[in-house]
Amino acid sequence: MAEYARKIKQRHCTKRRSRRSPDTAEAAVLEVVELLNTECRDDVTIIAVVMDIRLRWMLLLLAFCLLATSPAVAHAVLLQAIPAGDSTVSGPDIVVSLQFNSRVDGKRSRLYLVLPDGKPRRLEIQPQSKADRLEGRASGLAAGLFHIRWSALSADGHLTNGEYAFRVR
């Protein structure tokens, strides 16, 4: 790199030549020499400026890649639950409905009702009425503290898990 910068400096710092179209890596160095303009500085300065330009382009590219892919990495986040967390509902039959911030795969997602004794009971997920919802039914519930444990596969392929408690009177 230092030798390349030295050759460019020799060609362009001693005399001004006619400009050629900037279509090569040499164009970047020429731009640096023009930035340094009248005084031709040492090789270390030229290399530092070239590396600074390259670093700025890499950071710009990285920022673009992160911004371009941000919607694709959004996990399913629970927005609303029926029954609500820490609520008390009338039994013995309840409807469980979970709404997420994005589409979820109803066939690959899971709903469990954790009974007061700690045993989980899998709830059958009903055909989805909306792409962002999971719904199931539980019947024959006695009074007590229950938990809904869920595992939702979002449209981006990420699995999100959660659990919350509610009471049946």
Give the tens place of pLDDT for each residue, 108-152. 999 999 999 999 999 999 999 999 999 999 999 999 999 999 999
Pairing, β 159-168 against β 88-89: parallel
CATH tag, 74-168: 2.60.40.1220
Domain boundaries along the sequence of the chain: 2-71, 74-168
* Percentage of the chain modeled with pLDDT above 70: 65
Q: How confident is the model at residue 129, as a pLDDT? A: 93
Percent helix, strand, coil in the chain (nearest 5)? 35, 30, 35
Q: Scanning the structure block, which residue is given the tokens 């408690």?
A: 165
Structure tokens at 51: 């590396």
Report, as an integer, the average pLDDT of 145-164: 94
Q: Choose the weakest-confidence range: 66-70, 109-113, 152-156.
A: 66-70
Q: Residue 80 pLDDT more than 50?
A: yes
